[in-house]
Structure 1
Amino acid sequence: MLEYIELFFKSIFIDNMVFATFLGMCSYLAISKKVSTSVGMGAAVIFVLAVTVPVNWLLDQYLLQPGALSWLGEEYAGYDLSFLSFIMFIATIATMVQLVEIIVEKFAPALYNSLGIFLPLIAVNCAILGGSLFMQSREIPTLGLSFVYGIGSGIGWFLAILAIAAIREKIRYSQVPGPLRGLGITFIITGLMAIGFMSFGGMLTGGDDAAKKEGATTKAEVKVEVKEDVDKKAEKLANNTKEITK
């Protein structure tokens, strides 16, 4: 259970798609002018990531990895279809995005019109594909963890775009220096927000406890090395004393 919680919060704060890897920046900058549209876009990203990451995990485990086809029989155990990863992942993402587009258009036409071209462009949003590729490269071991990672990554992207949208609505009425208006001040605020999100790293990766353990291990290793060195010198001195006595 602890592993699930740690992965969930790490994918939101430390490994945030926007602030840690700068993925999905196009939609992040274009949609974040209003909070209302940012909420709709963020919810769509959460749904797509929560579905596509586990589905792509299943494809990777039972179809794409070297030897993944062994469940079909011994004669298929030597097949390696990993070169199809990008195609299969993108096909899954495109299918889910089309489903989201149909649902939003049916039940929230106002949101559909406000999102415009950026809703179907979720299919080519690098944050969505990045979630599946990070899942694959980090070798997430179970389907449950892949689902948690997908939801956490989506929530992280949602918090990022929601926070910047709220700030941009406020600074619209602020006296921002001319050269920094628009994307200039947005990038500066994004950098400051990234620092804030990354500061959770010490809390979620052990922090001082990990450092203390590492320090204790290092001290123990040093003591062993010193003891071995002293023993060698004592043995050498004893041998020299015997030779002198003879």
Structure 2
Amino acid sequence: MENLLSIFIRSIFVDNMIFAFFLGMCSYLAVSKTVKTSAGLGVAVIFVLLITVPVNYLLDKYVLSAGALSWLDPRLADMNLSFLSFIMFIAVIASITQLVEMIVERFSPSLYNTLGIFLPLIAVNCAILGGSLFMQERHYDTLAEATVFGVGSGIGWFLAIVMLAAIREKLKYSNVPAPLRGIGITFILTGLMGIAFMTFMGVKF
């Protein structure tokens, strides 16, 4: 239980997809103009990571990694399909993203129209693929660890985009120097928030 809690907290604050690895920056910068749309996209990212990371964990453990197919037939113990990881992970991500898109369109047409092209672009969001690749790289022992990591990574991305959106809404009433308006001040804010999140690196979980 302590290990799961440690993975969860680290994936949100220490190994934050935005502030530690700068993954998913395109959607992060483009959609973070209002809190409402940012929260909607953030929830969609959490849902996609919640599903794709555990599914890709099972796929890697029982199909792709070296000797993974031995449960099917002992003669396949020497087979290594890890070279297919990228293709298979992206296929799973694209399928789940399509499901999310249909759900949002069905139950929240206004959010669907607001997010526009960025909702289907979750399929090529670096943070989503990064979650599965980090899961594979860190060799989590159980499905629970992979799932907790996926959820924590999604919540970390959600916090980052909603925090930025809240600040950008306030900046509309601020006297920002003309050369920094728009993307310039957004990059500065991201850097400052990244520095703030770095303080968690010194905490032992």
TM over 0.5: yes
Distance 2:124 2:20 in 1: 19
Is 1:201–2:185 an aligned residue pair?
Answer: no
1:172 to partner: Cα distance: 1.2
1:31-57 Cα distance to aligned partner (Å, 9 max, x none)? 000111000000000000010000000
Residues 1-246 of structure 1: pairs in structure 2 closer than 5 A:
1-205=1-205
SS of aligned partner of 2:23: coil
Structure 1 runs (4+) deviating above 2 angstroms are none
Distance 1:193 1:117 in 2: 27
Distance 2:196 2:139 in 1: 28
Distance 2:133 2:53 in 1: 9
Distance 1:176 1:50 in 2: 38
Letter in 1 for 2:151: I
Letter in 1 for 2:20: A
| Conserved 8 A contact 1:10-1:204 | no
1:145-198 Cα distance to aligned partner (Å, 9 max, x none)? 000000000000000000000000001110001111111111111001001111
Letter in 1 for 2:13: F
Q: What percentage of aligned pairs have identical amino acids?
A: 68
Gaps of 5+ in 2: none
TM-score, normalised to structure 2's length? 0.99
Distance 2:100 2:89 in 1: 17
1:13-47 Cα distance to aligned partner (Å, 9 max, x none)? 00000000000000000000011100000000000
Distance 1:9 1:132 in 2: 18
1:74 to partner: Cα distance: 1.3
| Conserved 8 A contact 1:60-1:136 | yes
Letter in 2 for 1:191: G
SS of aligned partner of 2:22: coil
Distance 1:50 1:59 in 2: 15
Distance 2:88 2:204 in 1: 33
Gaps of 5+ in 1: 206-246
1:90-149 Cα distance to aligned partner (Å, 9 max, x none)? 010001000000000000000000000000000000100000000001111110000000
Which protein has the larger Cα radius of gyration, Structure 1 or Structure 2? 1
CA RMSD of aligned residues (A): 0.6
TM-score, normalised to structure 1's length? 0.82
1:204 to partner: Cα distance: 3.1
Larger RCO (CA within 8 A; separation ≥ 6): 2
